Amino acid sequence: MELPNHAKQLLLQLNQQRAKGFLCDVIIVVENALFRAHKNILAASSIYFKSLVLHDNLINLDTEMVNPSVFRQVLDFIYTGKLLSSSDHSNEQNFSALLTAASYLQLHDLAALCRKKLKRSSGKPLPGKPSTPGPLSRLRLNNQRLSSSTPAGPNNHYPPAPSDADQPQPDEGLRDKLSDDELFVGSSGKVGNGGHGSSNGNLSSGASAGEPDLGLDLSKKSPHSAGTATDALSPHSNSQESPQSASVSTTNSASLDDSSTTLPGADTCISETMELNSASKTSEETPNQTDGPPPHKKTRQAARKNEWPKREASGLKSEEHDRPLVNGVIVGPKDGRSSGICGGSGSCFASDQSFHCKDEDDGGENGQDHSDESGQSDGESAGGGGGHHSVNYVYRQEGFEPAFGDNLYVCIPCGKGFPSSEQLNAHVETHTEDELYIKEEGGAFVKEEDDEEAEDLSAPVGPSGFGSESRPFKCTVCSKSYKDPATLRQHEKSHWLTRPFPCNICGKMFTQRGTMTRHMRSHLGLKPFACEECGMRFTRQYRLTEHMRVHSGEKPYECQLCGGKFTQQRNLISHLRMHTSPS
DNA sequence: CTGGGGATGGGGCCC
DNA sequence: CGGGCCCCATCCCCA
């Protein structure tokens, strides 16, 4: 017994989920466009992807081989089995580009379709697509070019082709395309795996010599060990050790700098649809490399460390997943509890970029999806009551159209929607920083509750609590005072309604650049601070210091009421609440 | 099952 | 801009 449309329906659902960013667990960066997708889907469609997504949540593709608009078609193909090609005259070019991309990504079925199409349309020999070494040869060319551009160090590791040359090895393409500044793709699952955690550090990113240009230096010199994704961004990470995977992404993630978020042009017109007949063909071969090795160090800590930063993961899950991805751009995090990374405060629009957010799940556009995603919100909806409004910089105001309306690109500050990223960008530039200042009441935006609370809570101990004698610089809004004008200025930003520093990955905005870069590190899994005892890594030095007490047994924080000792101050505080709050 | 403690992640913010 | 610290939230373990 078999359901006739089962596979189709399933794919349809998955594609819908992708459109909304629901449960998407990987971000693919192509030039300056970000695409969200599901690892499983990618892995099932290509060995290359399989090796990439194994250890990374962020994949950066070689822009020599694929551009945003082509990748969009590729992704559509992966999720639908249909090839939607543009109808314009550049059709042939488009197929050629698609073929290149498909070869690079080892999407054999798509490559075959393209070849067929090209053959049919021009009868000419196909560009770079000799059947056998086809993609590889092309990749090699690319590779050569790339490597030549980098210092030819001893690091030009290009492992010799695998013995079983003919078999498309999972990593083969990668290897071919590896250059010093790119990462390796893990060839065998073995190596890499371990990665994350601690020990192996792996996630190599290979960024060896050529440091990727990061708009933001997300790397922090790691005082300790090496090789993890974290190090990837640091100039001296030793790439050689980790021929592994994913790091790729991380490394490149670097490219997620401020400028990287432009939207890929939306390729529209679709004139023909080629469908993949033998959809069944998957790249399942090479099972070996897939299974991620079990986390080696099974300490709880180590376990926690794998994958996305845990929090992050949950953040994505509960909050971001519904952010739709439109034209390669992540559209807004949904809102949720304040805690989450990006989602938390749903804001997402950067004044200088094209992110646009979608708040909650647009209440509506897709009723049906809601049911699917009901799970999605559990976390947050439970707590935040779906309240988009608890957030600052609410993305979708009452009167706003659902994000999926005609004007997908919405300017957070003023709420105007635009049909294209270009228009939105042009519009955004009309906002000056001054406008970002709070207009207090009457503003379309609501001041963030959390901030208020935080302020209140901290008030007693905050600066204002101290004698303001030595603090001549007073905030006109809340009357807190500071020792120097710079700090006052910094503080005043907390009163802004709009935050000038957006995360290029999730769109969340921050008042301080440092906070934003710190946040970005969490997206990228950059944890420069490693514990020498257990290998656990942290994003902040302070956390490491805190963590070290776990090993030393030091418990410097003592409860004055019961004498209980704690390794962390926050736990003491938490403990004190037990004493104070009767419940 | 529940509450407390340990440990960790993320954001805000001051220095 | 980085370091530090505070707060919140959460997960896991254990009694």
The model's confidence at residue A93, banded by pLDDT at 50, 70 and 90, is: confident
Per-residue pLDDT of A291-330, as tens digits, reads: 333 333 333 333 333 333 333 333 333 333 333 333 333 3
Residue from A184, A187, A307 nearest A251 by CA: A184
Spanning CA of A97 to C1' of B3, the rounded length in angstroms is: 61
- Distance, CA of A51 to C1' of C11, in Å: 30
Tokens of A566: 């704690």
Stronger pLDDT, A98 or A370, i.e. the higher one? A98
C-alpha dihedral sign at A342, A327, A84, A96: negative
Residue–nucleotide distance: A578 CA to B2 C1' (Å): 15
Q: How far apart are CA A316 and CA A387, in angstroms?
A: 17
Residue nearest to nucleotide C1 (CA to C1'): A514
Mean pLDDT of A256-268: 34
Q: How confident is the model at residue A343 (pLDDT cuts 50, 70, 90)?
A: very low
For the CA of A346 and the C1' of C15, the distance in angstroms is: 40
Confidence grade of residue A416 (pLDDT, cut at 50, 70, 90): low
The answer for residues whose C-beta is within 8 angstroms of residue A564's C-beta and 6 or more apart is A558, A572, A575
The per-residue pLDDT for A570 is: 73
* Strand C nucleotides where any atom sits below 7 Å of a protein CB: 1-13
Give the model's pLDDT for residue A413: 44
The pLDDT of residue A552: 77
Q: Which nucleotide is nearest to A511 (CA to C1')?
A: B12
pLDDT at residue A419 in the model = 57
Contact A241, A204 (CB under 8 A): yes
> What pLDDT score does A466 carry?
35
Angle at A141 between CA A137 and CA A146, to 5 degrees: 140
Spanning CA of A140 to C1' of B10, the rounded length in angstroms is 42
Determine the distance between A311 (CA) and B9 (C1') in angstroms.
5
pLDDT mean over A379-404: 31
Between CA A536 and C1' B7 the distance (Å) reads: 12
Nucleotide nearest to A543 (CA to C1'): B8
Give the pLDDT confidence score for residue A144 in this predicted structure: 33
Q: Which segments within A381-527 are labelled E, that is strand? A: 409-410, 417-418, 473-474, 481-482, 501-502, 509-510
Is A481:A471 a contact under the CB 8 Å cutoff? yes
Residues whose CB is less than 8 angstroms from the CB of residue A141 and which lie 6 or more positions away in sequence, other chains included: none
Closest residue, by C-alpha, to the C1' of B9: A311
Nearest-angstrom CA–CA distance, A72 and A13: 18
Q: Which amino acid is at A578?
A: M
- Is residue A505 pLDDT above 60, yes or no? yes
Q: What percent of chain A has pLDDT over 70?
A: 36
Footprint of strand C on the protein (CB under 7 A): A 217, 220, 300, 310, 314, 337-339, 379, 383, 453-454, 457-458, 461, 486, 490, 513-514, 517, 540-542, 545, 569-570, 573-574
Give A177-201 pLDDT, tens digit per residue.
323 322 222 233 333 333 333 333 3
Q: Can you tell me which residue has its alpha carbon closest to the C1' of nucleotide C9?
A: A339
CA atoms in the 13 A half-sphere facing the CB of A244: 29
Separation between the CA of A570 and the C1’ of B15 (whole angstroms): 20
Query: A62, A69, A74, A84: which is closest to A141 by C-alpha?
Result: A62
Residue A139, φ and ψ in degrees, nearest 5: -65, -35
B3 nearest neighbour residue (CA to C1'): A578
Which of the nucleotides lies closest to A221 (Cα–C1')?
C2
Mean confidence (pLDDT) of chain A: 53
What DSSP string runs through A126-194? PTT--TTTHHHHHHHHHHHHHHHHS---TT---PPPPSSTTS--TTHHHHHH--TTS----SSHHHHHT
Q: What is the pLDDT of residue A472?
A: 74
Q: Can you give the residue ranges of every domain in chain A?
A: 409-421+472-526
> How far apart, in whole angstroms, are the C-alpha atoms of residue A194 and residue A64?
30
Chain B bases closer than 7 angstroms to a protein Cβ: 4-15
Per the document, the length of chain A is 583
Q: What is the pLDDT of residues A511-553, one digit of tens each?
A: 788 888 888 877 777 777 888 778 888 878 878 888 887 887 7
Comparing A114 with A438, the larger pLDDT belongs to A114
Judging by beta carbons within 10 Å of its beta carbon (0-12, 13-18, 19+), is residue A320 exposed, middle or buried?
buried
Provide, in whole angstroms, the distance separating residue A483's CA from nucleotide B14's C1'.
10
Give the mean model confidence (pLDDT) for residues A102-108: 84
Model pLDDT, residue A103: 82
| DSSP three-state, residue A275 | strand
**So what's the pLDDT on residue A269?**
32
Q: How far is the CA of A518 from the C1' of C11 (A)?
A: 22
Nucleotide whose C1' lies closest to the alpha carbon of residue A304: B8
Distance A461 CA to C6 C1' (A): 10
Distance of CA A27 to the CA centre of its chain: 5
- The pLDDT value recorded for residue A143 is 34
pLDDT tens, position by position, A215-252: 344 444 333 333 333 333 333 333 333 333 333 333 33
Structure letter (DSSP) for residue A513: H
